[in-house]
Amino acid sequence: MSPSAGKHLPPEITEAILPLLPAKSLGRFKSVSKTWNSFISDPLFIRTHLLQSHQTRKLIALSTTGSLYSIHITETLDTDDNDIPATAKELSIGSPPIRWKEILGSCNGLVLAKDESDTIFLMNPTTKELWKVPLCPFVPPPDEEEVVYVMYGFGYDSSTDDYKILSISFWDPHNMQHDIKEAFECVYSLRNNLWRKLPEHDHSVLDGISGAPINQSLHWISRSFCIVGFNLATEEFNEMELPDSDSFHNGKTMGSDLVDFGGKLGVSMSSEVCTELCVMEEYGVGESWTTVHIPGLEKILWPVCLLEGRSREIVFQEKESKVVYNIDERRFRDVRISGCTSGDVNVFGGTFVESLESPKRIMIAS
């Protein structure tokens, strides 16, 4: 589009069309005119565009070489094919490009990740904006004999228009994972660019690396067989019962995890017999759990997300394999990824949306 084109479009047409366009295109359109730049950069427009973007999510993945990839699984009408095609695109962020170690979470187009030196960054993979999260000053370094386990959660608090990071650190003196010496819970506010230490809470040692963000709360599974939630607005912990599962309560579960299933809290529990996938249809209501039994493959299946636009298909990861399971057809299909070296994409780290959201927007507004 030429710079003069935007000058002749009626404002009401411009305001109706621009929120429907991809974030990358909008970034280029800022140069059309000062008016367009101001309109696209307006926080209200960013929020409006974000609501549209939630309808289109992409997988984010980590490679064996520390690169980030966005993965788009292609819709196919060929239901007889045992493979489902997907396209990978490398996300080169930082100068020189940062090598990443772990994806910690995502929310509204922002991704929280740790680099090879264990530095935490908040980034927008679409706009390439990068924000270095300061070190938490309340967690002392461990002794030489001790091992530290750190879990993170990342989400949005609409009551204060703020993004928050929850950090839970466990000191394990004997590397036994159940012999916990000390624990620190701290929350970081992007708006205030500040860490704050939380009061001690007995969570009976949480399982999992990253907290599943649902209903503006973060969630983990506790070893006392319940779900521990952290409300981002009140900054308080709460507990919910796990769904009934013989394999889980009898100790036959080989692996369990929490996941965001289209805005609903999901729990997966894998045993030698099958993988039970439970979804809480109404948040906080224990009686609303529904269960899908997926045939056992004697493998631990880690759910990643619902396949975009097809609520009856689920993306799973099993070690280095990626599969899609169709609930109605009761069958698996392998995800065939193109656009990267075969086997390079190692870990699916969840999903993200392409948005214009910016850490600077939050900080400037404070």
For the cut 90, the answer to whether the pLDDT of residue 121 exceeds it is yes
Helix (H, G, I), strand (E, B) or coil at 51: helix
Q: What is this structure's pTM? A: 0.85
Residue with more model confidence, 9 or 289:
289
Residue with more model confidence, 356 or 13:
356
Per the CB < 8 A criterion, the answer to whether 109 and 126 are in contact is yes
Average pLDDT for 8-15: 74
pLDDT at position 173 is 58
Task: List, for residues 309-320, the tens digit of each pLDDT value.
Answer: 665 788 888 776
CA distances from 207 to 212, 219, 224, 225, 363 (A): 12, 10, 10, 10, 32
Computed over every residue of the chain, the mean pLDDT equals: 81
Task: List, for residues 33-82, the tens digit of each pLDDT value.
Answer: 888 888 888 888 888 888 776 667 788 888 888 899 998 887 655 556 78
